[in-house]
Amino acid sequence: MSNCIFCKIINGEIPSVKIYEDDRILAFLDISQATKGHTLVIPKEHVDNIFEVKEEVIAYLFSKVPYLAKTIKDAFNAEGLNILNNNGKVAGQSVFHFHVHLIPRYGSEDGYQPVLINHMDDYTKEDLEKIAEQIKTKL
Ligand code: AMP
Ligand code: ZN
């Protein structure tokens, strides 16, 4: 896509610091470096997000994620690593070319703070069953 910043990176029109590339995917350092080694993995075929990505494209991309994650973790002796993928503006997506963040973790104050707020007191077992039913009828 001509005005997509990540397509421009793939095409070499704007610079990036690459760590892995093959004919289908590219992994390069996120310019923001939430933590040291923060990497983005993208398909070379432009697709906006998870709602549009083809199964074989994401399957290939994710087949390389464990290897890349382990390599990044080992390179910096990280203690762990978060995988993040934002889809849609409301979910924090700012670049609309599908990408997976690999964020190595060094400690609780390393610069990345994923927060899952616990709302379990707001849902009964019946509520959960109803929610599951709503989803399953669409499968
Ligand atoms: P998201 O908010 O999930 O869409 O993530 C987009 C990410 O792309 C952000 O973490 C940005 O720091 C990163 N980013 C934007 N432009 C560039 C660039 N030119 N090179 C590397 N990373 C970039
Ligand atoms: Zn693109």
Q: Compute, in angstroms, the gap from residue 72 CA to the centroid of ligand 1.
A: 18
Q: Compute, in angstroms, the gap from residue 99 CA to the centroid of ligand 1.
A: 9
Q: List C-alpha distances in Å: 94 to 55, 99, 105, 114.
A: 23, 11, 22, 17
Q: Give the mean pLDDT of the chain.
A: 97
**What are the pLDDT digits (tens) for 47-62?**
999 999 999 999 999 9
Domain architecture of the chain: domains with CATH: 5-136 (3.30.428.10)
Measured CA to CA, the distance from residue 102 to residue 41 in angstroms comes to 8
pTM above 0.85, yes or no: yes
pLDDT at 48: 98
Residue in 13, 130, 19 with CA at minimum distance from that of residue 74 = 19
Position 87 pLDDT exceeds 90: yes
Token digits of residue 5? 């910043």
Position 136 pLDDT exceeds 90: yes
Rg (CA), the chain: 17
**What are the pLDDT digits (tens) for 20-79?**
999 999 999 999 999 999 999 999 999 999 999 999 999 999 999 999 999 999 999 999
Q: Pick the catalytic residue: 38, 97, 99, 101?
A: 99
Percentage of residues in the chain having pLDDT higher than 90: 99
pLDDT at 1: 81
Contact, 24 vs 98, CB < 8 A?
Answer: no
User: Atom 13 of ligand 1 has which residue's CA nearest to it?
Assistant: 30
Q: Compute, in angstroms, the gap from residue 64 CA to the centroid of ligand 2.
A: 20
97 noted as active-site residue: no
